[in-house]
C-alpha cells in the first residue's frame, strides 16, 4: 500500500523558500503572485496491506522523522 | 485563487533523498518500507480569479522555474 505524507509549514510560520521562489517568479516577469509556500510530499511504498495499520505506521514515521511537528503539519493519504 | 503545483521525480529517476529517508526510517526501527520517493508541493496564491487563466499561469511558472521538466513531472490543482 502507498501512503502519501504531505508536510506543510504551519500557518504563520515564515517560509523563506517560498519568498525566494516568489521573488524569482517576479524576476521572470510573472505578475499577480500574492504568496508562495513550499511543502514536501513523501510517498511511502509499504508492504502493509491493512489500511488502518498502514495509516498508523505512516503517522508514526511522520511524527518521528518526516515532519518537524513544532513548525509543520502533515496530512496522510492512502492509495 | 490558489494553485497547488505538485512536483515529483519521473518514474525511473533515482531518488537519493528518498533512499536516505528510507534508511533513516529503518534505522529508527520501522519495517516494511519498500520504497520512499520525495516531491515538492508549491502553493501559489494568485490574484487571478479566472480558473483557466490561473491554471495557465501556474503551468508556465512550473515549466519555467518550479519543475525541472527533464527529470520531474508536475500536477496542478486549483482551489
Note the pLDDT tens digit of each residue in B5-63: 999 999 999 999 999 999 999 999 999 999 999 999 999 999 999 999 999 999 999 99
Query: A33 in contact with B at a CB cutoff of 8 Å?
Result: yes
| Cβ pair B65, A28 in contact under 8 A | yes
| pLDDT in the model for residue B27 | 98
A65 in contact with B at a CB cutoff of 8 Å? Answer: yes
Q: Which ranges in A1-79 belong to alpha helices (H)?
A: 16-27, 51-61
Reported confidence tier of residue B4, pLDDT bands at 50, 70, 90: very high
CATH code of the domain covering residue A33: 3.30.1280.10
Q: Does A61 touch chain B (CB under 8 A)?
A: yes
Low-confidence ranges of chain A (pLDDT < 70): none
> Which of B13, B19, B16, B17 lies closest to B34, judged by CA?
B19
Contact A39, B40 (CB under 8 A): yes
**A19–chain B Cβ distance below 8 A for any pair:** no
- Residue B78 φ/ψ region, left for φ over 0, alpha for ψ in the -120 to 50 degree band, beta for the rest: beta
Taking contacts as CB-CB distances below 8 angstroms, the residues of chain A near B46 are 32-34
What domain range includes position A8? 2-78
- pLDDT at residue number B20: 98
Q: Which residue of A has its CA nearest to B43?
A: A37
Q: How far is A69 from chain B (nearest CA, A)?
A: 17
Look at A64 and B28 and tell me if their CB atoms are within 8 Å.
yes
- Domains in chain B, number: 1
Are the beta carbons of A72 and A5 closer than 8 angstroms?
no
Amino acid at each position: 500500500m502507498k501512503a502519501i505524507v504531505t508536510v506543510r509549514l504551519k500557518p504563520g510560520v515564515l517560509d523563506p523558500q517560498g519568498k525566494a521562489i516568489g521573488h524569482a517568479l517576479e524576476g521572470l516577469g510573472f505578475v499577480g503572485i500574492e504568496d508562495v509556500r513550499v511543502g514536501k510530499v513523501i510517498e511511502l511504498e509499504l508492504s502493509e496491506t491493512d489500511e488502518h495499520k498502514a495509516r498508523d505506521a505512516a503517522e508514526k514515521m511522520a511524527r518521528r522523522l518526516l515532519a518537524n511537528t513544532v513548525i509543520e503539519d502533515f496530512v496522510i493519504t492512502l492509495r
